[in-house]
Amino acid sequence: MKVKFVLNGVERDFEVKAGEYLLDTLRKHNILSVKKGCDASSCGVCTVLKNGKPVLSCSILTARCEGLSITTVEGEKAEVEKFYSYFGAEGADQCGFCNPATALTVIAMKRELKNPSESAIRQYMVGNLCRCSGYVAQNKAILNYLEDQS
């Protein structure tokens, strides 16, 4: 079946199977920044923005994306690089596997929440797991980014 949606600002046509998930469609089309982790809606590394909101691409059928706007880090390069500079400054970089999903979630949060408290930030990030860290440096980097950009 054919599905049409806007991917990173460009309207695209995709030929997909009926039960195909967005994660697989994106990776099949070389959007490899979107990672496959648990493939079961638990880890968050497959996060993309659907009409600006973070969603798990492993749990959304591509057929349900008709007419929507889907954004990955490739579509948010300037803001993602800005966010990564805060990660670097706090020494929060580790293997990087979860970084694209984390960046997209934080960018969406910045646009959605005004001056969020630390607990509101943690709540927003609760679905984004990182196997490498204890989150301390990551959380500090996220706070600094949100404070400096608000």
Residue ranges binding ligand FES (CB under 6 A): 36-39, 41-46, 56, 58, 94-98, 130-133
Residue 114 C-beta: closest distance to ligand FES, Å? 27
Q: What is the DSSP letter of 126?
A: T
Cβ proximity to ligand FES: between 39 and 74 the closer is 39
Backbone angles phi, psi at 19, to 5 degrees: -100, 20
Hey, what's the torsion of the CAs at 93, 69, 50, 134, to 10 degrees? 0
| Three-class DSSP labels, 57-116 | HHHCEHHHHCCCEEECHHHCHHHHHHHHHHHHHCCCCCCCCCHHHHHHHHHHHHHHCCCC
Residue 58 C-beta: closest distance to ligand FES, Å? 3
Cβ proximity to ligand FES: between 11 and 89 the closer is 89
Residue 106 C-beta: closest distance to ligand FES, Å? 13
Cβ proximity to ligand FES: between 103 and 146 the closer is 103
Residue 128 C-beta: closest distance to ligand FES, Å? 9
Cβ proximity to ligand FES: between 70 and 98 the closer is 98
